[in-house]
Amino acid sequence: MDFNKIKSILSVKTVGIAGCGGLGSNCAVALARVGIGKLILCDFDAIEPGNLNRQYFFYNQLGMKKATALKENIQNINPEVIAEDHIVKLDPEIIMKLFAGCDVIVEAFDRADMKKMILETVLCQMPDKPIVSGVGIAGWGNSNDIRMIQSGNLYVCGDGHSEATENNPPLAPRVCMAANMQANTVLEILLGKNY
């Protein structure tokens, strides 16, 4: 499949990004570069200096809302992508409303309890919707531990066990590996397997 064909398939697809931090910002940028039609970017938070070690933002964007800054960055990379910024704390009701028209949902939250909330919501209330989650991305090294496992419409990228703590922080290389693995999984869902 050549790139024009790939773009023509992706240009009519919509992907929901739940959380615009390390996983969400990097995953959304990768999807924007390959020409996804529409990205629904959801985050309530603002950019802090500590986010710049892994999140796709710039020094002059400190203080901006992440969803809005990410929309700006995506438009600077590929103006053909429609990016919607939603400054919102997601809950089951809002998830079902905002992501109803998505072809795929990317779970890109920081907190484990929020990951559980969105996975339960999508798996139980929207069972036909593929969801690509990121779990276990902290630290450095151990590149080959980052993998994707699938069960039906649930896809999980990461090593499954490296929790972010004060002494094992999330850092750009490993977070971006998992985020780009999420984006790559979205492509596999939308384009089919590449044998």
Partner 1 sequence: MNITLNNNKEVIDADHLTVAELLKIKNFTFKLLIIKINGKVVSQMDYAHTSISEGDDVIVLHLISGG
Residues that bind partner 1 (CB under 8 A): 19, 21-24, 108-113, 115-116, 119-120, 123-124, 133-138, 149-152, 154, 156, 160-164, 170, 175
Q: Give Dmax over CA atoms of the chain in angstroms.
A: 45
Residue with Cβ nearer partner 1 (78 or 153): 153
**Structure-block tokens of residue 54:** 């892994």
> CA angle at residue 118 from 116 to 120, to 5 degrees?
65
Q: Residue 10 or residue 41: which is nearer to partner 1 going by CB? A: 41
Q: Could you tell me the smallest distance in angstroms from the CB atom of residue 52 to partner 1?
A: 15
- Residue 154 CB, nearest distance to partner 1 (Å)? 7
Q: Which is nearer to partner 1, 171 or 191 (CB)?
A: 171
Least gap, CB of 180 to partner 1 (angstroms): 14
The strands making up 104-107's β-sheet, listed across from edge to edge, are 82-86, 38-42, 14-18, 104-107, 131-134, 154-158, 147-151
Between 35 and 180, CB nearer to partner 1 = 180
Instruction: Give whichever of 16 and 35 is closer to partner 1, judged by the CB atom.
Output: 16
Q: How far is the CB of 49 from partner 1 (least distance, A)?
A: 18
Rounded to the nearest 5 percent, the helix, strand and coil shares of the chain are 45, 20, 35
Report the distance separating Cα 88 and Cα 117, nearest Å.
15
**Smallest distance, partner 1 to C-beta of residue 9, A:** 26
Alpha helix stretches (DSSP H) within 147-191: 172-191
**108 contacts 23 by C-beta, under 8 angstroms:** yes
